[in-house]
Structure 1
Amino acid sequence: MREYLVVVGIALGVTYLLASIARTSAHHLGAVARVRDRDVHAVPTPYFGGPAMLGGLLAAYLAATHLPFLSLADESVFGPVRGVLLGGTVICIVGVIDDLYELDALSKFAGQVLASILVVTQGVQFVYLPLYGNYLGLDQAQATIFTVLLIVGTANAVNFVDGLDGLAAGMVGIGSVAFFAYAFILAVENGETRAIAAALLTASLAGACLGILPHNFFPARMFIGDSGSMLIGFVLACSSISLTGQFPATSLAEGIGGAEVTFLPALLPLILPFTILLVPFADLALAVVRRTRAGRSPFSPDKMHIHHRLLEIGHSHRRAVLLMYAAAGLVAFGSVVISLFSGWQSIVGFGVLSLLTAAAVFVLPKLDDKIWSS
């Protein structure tokens, strides 16, 4: 665990330092977010958070290869991590080009698919799917299709939710910490080595997200841009996929102490990693439905995302982001706790926290109105 904390610290520090260089470069190259009608920022703000976070991820990987415990890991750990970083570099480059020249949706999609296929060629892919209580093995074509779909969907979900200062980086950071806890505890309970690709990737990702937040949180001095949002969504998706091949399917379906988790039968091993991004996925789905019903392209921008609705009902910019953090943390850590610790206490606790979060969303604006009117 201590070496993973070192990995987090290195990713955090390198990302924080590189962000200042990236911000200056974005100004010189003209990679700046202009103020548009649908935007919530008031002044032009530079992009290029993605290259800074990619630098943090690469530095964390290099450090891990020299740490006393992690450096002893075999190719089953570092091979997938290198593959994810290779694909992440490609998707970050696509995002940088988009930050500079505003690529069309089809070009960005092609870049995302290319990065995903590169990861598959490095062995990061699904090996089975849970189906009606059994586990369905996948051939190479099926594994590639399912893997690419998940990675591209996650990258776009994070990109869609990146509408407020620090929102995407904070949510993915929370998700990566929750998924790291899940992967690490699962390794301990199954008597496996603690050096696993999913844990190394999520620890690095958590550090990179934390490192960019001082520059990106409200009021932001820089945006992570498409290069950053697609990169962190890509890495989180790849982390979850890498875990499915790490343990037997039956091990993933068991809770702490071998207790069977039955409330979500055989689907739990598949859906647990992706519930971490439930909020951005829900936002993405709602956006696609909303735009297609209006006769517009599902990729056309609007100002009706969940975070925009929070601003409309009276929340400040900062509090809207913190509420989205709370929702992300509730879903992410709630999924981990319920999946690993069976029992009514976990479900009741999740329900109580859900009610408190919902109350904060709808009650706080009314309290503000009463305070200011009195």
Structure 2
Amino acid sequence: MADIVIPGREYAIVFAIAALVTYVATGGVRLLATRIGAFTPIRDRDVHQIPKPRMGGVAVYLGVASAILVARRIPALSKAFDSSSALQGVLVAGAVIVLVGVLDDRFDLDAVTKLFGQILAAGVLVLYGVTWLVVWVPSADGGSSVTFDQTQGALITVLITVVLANAMNFIDGLDGLLAGVATISGIAVFIFSVHQFMVSGNDTVSSEPPLIAAALVGACLGFLPHNFYPARIFMGDSGSMFIGLTMAAATITASGQLSSDSANFGARSTVALLAPVIVVLAVVFIPLLDFLLAVIRRTKEGRHPFSADKRHLHHRMLAIGHTHRQAVLIFYLWAFVLSAGSVSLVFARWQVVITPIVLALAVAMVISMWPWVRARRLGRRRAEEAQWAVARRERGVTPRERGNDAGRGGGESAA
């Protein structure tokens, strides 16, 4: 492993600046959104009852942009800017997609217009060098690389960015849900990219992903106090699409630009080289699953795949009996289990981590479904009591039998 010092204090500064700027800016953005009428209307699929301002993504963008611009002046992080223009690309593409989101937050753009804006922003990322060029596949000798040409890499980058932007948008349905899940996912990308930074010994290209991730995590945490239940402001499409684009940039720079010398990672090279793909899948699992289920469901019903309804995963959590906060915290749990499980594969063999991952997934499943199980048990008990009451009326029980029945009922209740 290369002898390299991780600029932890500098990353902490980036995180703190993003959090502070976002927290302060959110109040001003809320006032601006209120003044220009950028409110979320009350629709059948919504869970809130009072119109609230959106455009929170503007504050998130300001936090990320401020942190990246300050990082440019920090000597330990400046090499990330000298090696490529990827970080500048995040700022420019982010501005494009936030502008599209603001217009949608205010005027409710149609799906085609928003899709065009997403593709445009993804194209800006490509122009600034954020392109997925290399993917690793396992083999008998420890793994080999497959390299894409510029056109293939550009198409893959645009696809990933558009999918992530829409997937994050789909999950943004409960107060604090997107900001919290993005925070957990961003931490996972940060941990993995720092590990890659350490083993590569490259303080130029390899230092870009942790910088992007640190800024994004800070901005999401800075926004969360304003957005957690009960929220005072919503992300809006400006926030969800920007988070998706930024997450795409972080994961692409972390896992799409591995060079041929990455084979020197050590005995667990195959797992280490495949870990970026695992992290990407874990990061987008919840919103992507929700996205795919919604598209399939709407297509089968003969509706537009991007039309809205009230049957997303977060709506189903409320329907089975969870409170608003419980549903959000359970999504946090799933995001943590999936992200932590994937990143742990970089540091340990799969035989070591598979048991804790399976146990954690089982616990998350039980917690998620417990209200539904409890409701079914209560329903069966009430049905049995109703049947017992009907049977007693039909056969005409004596007072003594009523006393015995009461005793049995009291015993069952006590049990």
TM-score, structure 1 normalization? 0.92
Distance 1:28 1:346, change over 3 A: same
Which among 310, 313, 323 is matched to residue 317 of structure 2?
A: 310
Which residue matches 1:129? 135
Letter in 2 for 1:240: T
Which residue matches 1:225? 236
Which among 145, 152, 156 is matched to residue 146 of structure 1?
A: 156
Distance apart, 1:277 and its partner CA: 1.2
Structure 2 contact 33–54 (Cα < 8 Å) conserved? yes
Which residue matches 1:358? 365
Mapped to 1, the partners of 2:9 and 2:273 lie a distance apart of 34
Which residue matches 2:50? 43
Which residue matches 1:160? 170
- The 5 Å alignment of 1:109-258 reads 109-130=115-136, 133=139, 134-193=144-203, 196-248=207-259, 251=262, 257-258=266-267
Unaligned runs of 5+ in 1: none
Mapped to 2, the partners of 1:116 and 1:224 lie a distance apart of 20
Alignment pair present for 1:259 and 2:284: no
Q: Deviations over 1:158-217 (max 9, x none)?
A: 001101011111111110011100000121123333861101000000001001101111
Which among 301, 309, 321 is matched to residue 308 of structure 2?
A: 301
Which residue matches 2:4? none
Q: Deviations over 1:9-67 (max 9, x none)?
A: 10000000000000000010000011111100010010011110110011101211222
Which among 77, 90, 101 is matched to residue 96 of structure 2?
A: 90
Letter in 1 for 2:215: S
Mapped to 1, the partners of 2:76 and 2:328 lie a distance apart of 37
Alignment pair present for 1:273 and 2:284: no
Mapped to 1, the partners of 2:82 and 2:148 lie a distance apart of 23
Which residue matches 2:394? none
Structure 1 contact 287–298 (Cα < 8 Å) conserved? yes
Mapped to 1, the partners of 2:297 and 2:350 lie a distance apart of 38
Distance 1:132 1:2, change over 3 A: closer
Mapped to 1, the partners of 2:258 and 2:269 lie a distance apart of 16
Structure 1 contact 130–269 (Cα < 8 Å) conserved? no
Compare CA radii of gyration and give the structure with the larger one.
2
Structure 2 contact 188–279 (Cα < 8 Å) conserved? no
Structure 2 contact 33–39 (Cα < 8 Å) conserved? yes
Distance apart, 1:102 and its partner CA: 0.5
Percentage of identical aligned residues: 40
Distance 1:252 1:226, change over 3 A: farther
Structure 1 contact 253–268 (Cα < 8 Å) conserved? no
TM-score, structure 2 normalization? 0.83
Distance apart, 1:258 and its partner CA: 3.6
Mapped to 2, the partners of 1:36 and 1:3 lie a distance apart of 44
Mapped to 2, the partners of 1:62 and 1:327 lie a distance apart of 33
Distance apart, 1:328 and its partner CA: 0.8
Distance 1:219 1:363, change over 3 A: same
- What is the total number of aligned residue pairs between the two structures? 368
Distance 1:347 1:261, change over 3 A: farther
Q: Deviations over 1:224-247 (max 9, x none)?
A: 000000000110011111123543
Q: Deviations over 1:330-369 (max 9, x none)?
A: 1111111023321422111111111111111112565699
Q: Deviations over 1:140-163 (max 9, x none)?
A: 111111110000000000001101
Which residue matches 2:72? 65
Letter in 2 for 1:332: S
Letter in 1 for 2:367: A
Distance apart, 1:72 and its partner CA: 4.7
Distance 1:340 1:261, change over 3 A: farther
Letter in 1 for 2:361: S
Letter in 2 for 1:13: L
SS in 2 for 1:136: strand
SS in 2 for 1:299: coil
Which residue matches 2:107? 101
SS in 1 for 2:135: strand
Alignment pair present for 1:8 and 2:40: no
SS in 2 for 1:38: coil
Unaligned runs of 5+ in 2: 1-7, 383-412
Alignment pair present for 1:345 and 2:352: yes
Distance apart, 1:128 and its partner CA: 1.9
Structure 2 contact 282–335 (Cα < 8 Å) conserved? no
Distance 1:130 1:97, change over 3 A: same
Distance apart, 1:301 and its partner CA: 0.3
